[in-house]
Amino acid sequence: MATIKQLQSTLKLTFGIVPIVAGLDKFTNLLTNWVDYLGNNKSMIPFDPLTFMKMVGVIEIIAGILVLVRPLIGAYVVMAWLICIALQLIIGGHYFDVAVRDLVMAIGAYTLAQLTKMQTAGNR
């Protein structure tokens, strides 16, 4: 049976690496054309959408590193970030499948935070 530490470590790596990879891809668009996810909201951004997505990429890279270094705080940051992305997609009226996926991932990030709390409490 997996221990709390094993589960926490698996989620920590997942929520550390995935945001870093997604953030880096904002500079290359190898996985997808990230600007498309802005939908009709492109006109609300006061500068070039590609520049905006690169800024998003930097935030995601920092969030991933934060999860790896400070998993409790990082997990909450990633959870909030994923919820915001899902809400933006829902409001934009497109990519509902991605919005649902991001909400499920936010639940996973919350789970990481709770497991990290349990692991920390167990070490006292």
pLDDT the model gives residue 52: 93
Residue 3 pLDDT > 90: no
Residue-wise pLDDT tens digits, 42-70: 788 898 999 999 999 999 999 999 999 99
The CB-side HSE value for 123 (13 A sphere, CA atoms) comes to 8
CA distance 105 to 83: 9
pLDDT of 121 above 90: no
Give the pair of three-digit tokens for residue 69.
Answer: 């270094």
67-80 average pLDDT score: 97
Residue range 7-25: mean pLDDT, rounded: 96
Q: What is the pTM of this model?
A: 0.90
